[in-house]
Amino acid sequence: MDLWFSEYHSENVRFSIRVDKQLYSAQSEFQRIDVFSSPEFGRFLILDGYMMFTEKDEFIYHEMITHVPMAVHPRVEKVLLIGAGDGGAARELTRYDTIQHIDLVEIDPQVVAVCREFFPEITKSLDDPRLHIHHEDGLRYIRRVKDEYDLIIVDSTDPFGPGEGLFTKEFYGNCFKALKEDGIMVNQHESAFYEGDATAVRRAHKRIIQSFSLCLAYQAHIPTYPSGHWLFGFSTKKYHPLRDFDGVKWKSLGIKTRYYNTQLHLGAFALPNYVEEILKDVERK
């Protein structure tokens, strides 16, 4: 048997993973959810045909979307996670004792249920007493909140489908309002390599800088995402991701990571020229 999962990374490029078997498939109220197992990447979650994460490389994404802001902001106590129903970002955050409260807003309860069943290692911290899960639209949740969070992490899917509202100006503006005066927002900033994804980078970047005066992008290498080169947005009201970065303090916490380290933190903000150009181009307009 020759069974493969394929995702189009562009109209002319296809990325395939050999599949051992399909473990789950269902249509939730919001999207189609599939779980496969594979010899190379272990189990992986697909939403509406798009790769969300694999057991083998999810650590890269989840470490980078959490530890980078955590090593910059001096005292994160209250965090808002939007999307992130797989629990990966929550797993990283619950390793910090300073964090007292995490709100996780995931629109689709079925995603959480499926991840709990098939990815128990990733979802284990969803039961942490500091974590509070809310099943509603992120855009709806955030418009009621003001001046409340130290850190907001937007762990969204792509800018079409149920995650669409999380790439809009009104959403980023509402995030700005929901953050305290020295708050940080980190978001999934797409990839600048293929034209379709680069358009999403431009749109997201443009809309963020309309609300936040400073938004810098940083990168990670994620093998199962289109082009493998992925970006995150670091939007901040006060702290600069490099000038206010305290590597010594972060190291003293003794958090063991597989991808993130303090040297890599600095390097992650050093972007390739073509990416810098795309972002600068948006900022000039």
Partner 1 sequence: MDYSAQERAPIKEALENLKNMRVVPFDVPGHKRGKGNGELTQFLGARCMETDVNSMKPLDNLSHPVSVIREAEELAAHAFGAGHAFFLVNGTTSAVQNMILFACHPGDKIILSRNVHKSVINALVLSGAIPVYFQQPVHEKLHISLSLPLQELEKTILDHPEAKAVFVTSPSYYGICSNLQRIGELTHRHGMLLLVDEAHGAHLYFGQGLPCPAMAAGADLAAVSMHKSGGSLTQSSFLLSSARVDAEALRQTINLTQSTSASYLLLASLDISRKNLALHGQEIFAHVLHLADYAREEINKLDGYYAYGKELIDEKTIFDFDATKLAVATMDTGLSGMEVYDLLRDEYDIQVEFGDVSNILAYISVGDRQRELERLVGALAEIERRFRRPQNTLYVKPLPVTPLRKSPKEAYYGKKISLPLSLAIGRVCGELIMCYPPGIPILAPGEEITAAAVEYIENALDIGCNVIGTHDVDIENLQVLENS
What residues line the site for partner 1 (CB under 8 A)? 137, 139-140, 142-144, 162, 164-165, 168-171, 173-174, 177
Q: How far is the CB of 230 from partner 1 (least distance, A)?
A: 25
* DSSP type of residue 243: T
Q: How far is the CB of 210 from partner 1 (least distance, A)?
A: 8
Question: Of 95 and 206, which CB lies nearer to partner 1 in the complex structure?
Answer: 206
Q: How far is the CB of 164 from partner 1 (least distance, A)?
A: 6
What are the residues whose beta carbons fall under 8 Å from the beta carbon of 164, sequence distance 6 or more? none
Question: Of 131 and 139, which CB lies nearer to partner 1 in the complex structure?
Answer: 139
Question: Of 37 and 168, which CB lies nearer to partner 1 in the complex structure?
Answer: 168
Rounded to a whole number, what is the distance in angstroms from the first to the last CA of the chain?
53
Q: Which long-range contacts (CB under 8 A, 24 or more apart) does 203-208 make?
A: 203/159, 203/167, 204/159, 204/167, 204/233, 205/233, 205/278, 205/279, 205/282, 205/283, 206/282, 206/285, 207/167, 207/168, 207/169, 207/172, 208/172, 208/233, 208/235
3-state DSSP call for residue 164? helix
Catalytic residue among 108, 150, 155, 158: 155
Annotation says 155 is catalytic: yes
Q: How far is the CB of 44 from partner 1 (least distance, A)?
A: 26
Question: Of 99 and 215, which CB lies nearer to partner 1 in the complex structure?
Answer: 215
> Looking at the annotation, which residues are catalytic?
155
